[in-house]
Amino acid sequence: MLPSQASKLDKLKTLLRGYKKIAIAFSGGVDSTFLLKVAQEELQNGALALTIQSPTVTEDDLKDVKSFLKNNTINYKIIQMNQLEKADFRHNSANRCYYCKAMEFSEMSKEAQRQGIHWLAAGINLDDKGDFRPGMRALKEIGVVSPLKEAGMTKADIRFFSKMYHLPTWNKPASACLASRVQYGEQITEEKLKKISEAEHVLKELNIRNLRVRYHHGNIARIEVAPEERQIFFDAEVMDRVAEQFRKIGFAYTTLDLQGYRRGSLNENLDNKTKIKVSMNSHV
């Protein structure tokens, strides 16, 4: 471990001890798993994991959450929620993430307060500040803290420490809510989210690690896989099998994005003016 990394880890532990009690928004991803593990070690029963279970969460992610909680004997609460009940979310404007995070973190904050905990933390790291993420504003408004970011930790740091702590998520691919796969302006429904989840499971069975299935107007599935994994589709049998399985799931057309997977690709068609407006105003 480099001295700079040791300093970051010490700072994170100091920050967490300062809270005395803290609730962690736990998604089962790399960042929140590491944050929860350190919080449990530093605060024991003073750490509480809060997880949202909703149509926007994949079954695979929820399984990872439950497995980790069971294996590490952590205090937790799973909160049932359906963001589809809110019209602002269903309409899927460029500000969808704001409405989603406002709902999720408001409920988690209320649950933490009910259990006598005044601090709610998210697994935000230093690398997250450069992405278009309107949901960040919701977290700021609710008063969510970001210990990983405050400690100066990057994604690479967190993966390094996760491996050091023997966490199963140390090399887990990045994940995101299923709604982030739906093209802006396309109404979000539970049926569409279910189709996306089932389609991504088909690709995972091909041992593809980094992937997204994007839902576009016209009931079109656009597959994104990591650039180095695109060669898996240079096989007629694989293409035929995937096309057939996606058809059975309910997609009218299936396409492969030739550029490969990149984070937030649906944001690429948003102009800077829209991004600025969304970042400043929730009513877009």
Q: Which of the two residues, 279 and 39, has the higher pLDDT score? A: 39
Lowest mean pLDDT among 75-89, 95-109, 132-146, 234-248: 132-146
Indicate the pairing of strand 47-53 with strand 76-80. parallel
Instruction: Note the pLDDT tens digit of each residue in 206-243.
Output: 999 899 999 999 999 999 999 999 999 999 999 999 99
Widest CA span of the chain, in angstroms?
58
pLDDT band at 105 (very low <50, low <70, confident <90, very high): very high
Q: CA-CA distance, 167 to 255, in Å (whole number)?
A: 35
pLDDT surpassing 90 at residue 274: no
Amino acid identity, residue 3? P
For residue range 42-62, list pLDDT tens digits in order. Answer: 999 999 999 999 999 988 888
Nearest Cα residue to 254 out of 232, 221, 218, 225: 221
pLDDT for the residue 39: 96
User: 251 with 75: CB under 8 angstroms?
Assistant: no
Question: What CATH number labels 178-262?
Answer: 3.30.300
**What integer pLDDT is reported at residue 266 of this predicted model?**
78
Residues in Cβ contact with 37 at an 8 Å cutoff, skipping those fewer than 6 apart: 72, 165, 167
Long-range Cβ contacts of 191-195 (<8 Å, 24+ apart): 191/250, 193/55, 193/56, 194/55, 195/221, 195/249, 195/250, 195/251
- What pLDDT does residue 42 have? 96
Instruction: In whole angstroms, give the CA distance from residue 167 to residue 30.
Output: 9
Determine the pLDDT at residue 280.
Answer: 45
Residue 113's contacts (CB-CB under 8 Å, 6 or more residues apart) are none
pLDDT computed for residue 114 by the predictor? 95
Question: In terms of Cα–Cα distance, which of 129, 163, 120 is closest to 33?
Answer: 163
pLDDT tens string 112-156: 999 999 999 999 998 877 555 778 889 999 999 999 999 999 999
83-87 mean pLDDT: 94
Q: Structural domain boundaries of the chain? A: 3-164, 178-262
Q: Say which residues have a Cβ less than 8 Å from residue 245's Cβ, sequence separation at least 6.
A: 199, 202
Q: Crossing angle of helices 30-43/3-19, nearest 10°?
A: 60
What pLDDT was estimated at residue 264? 67
Angstrom CA distances, 160 to 2, 11, 79, 156, 167, stand at 11, 16, 30, 6, 10
| Range 3-164 has CATH code 3.40.50.620 | yes
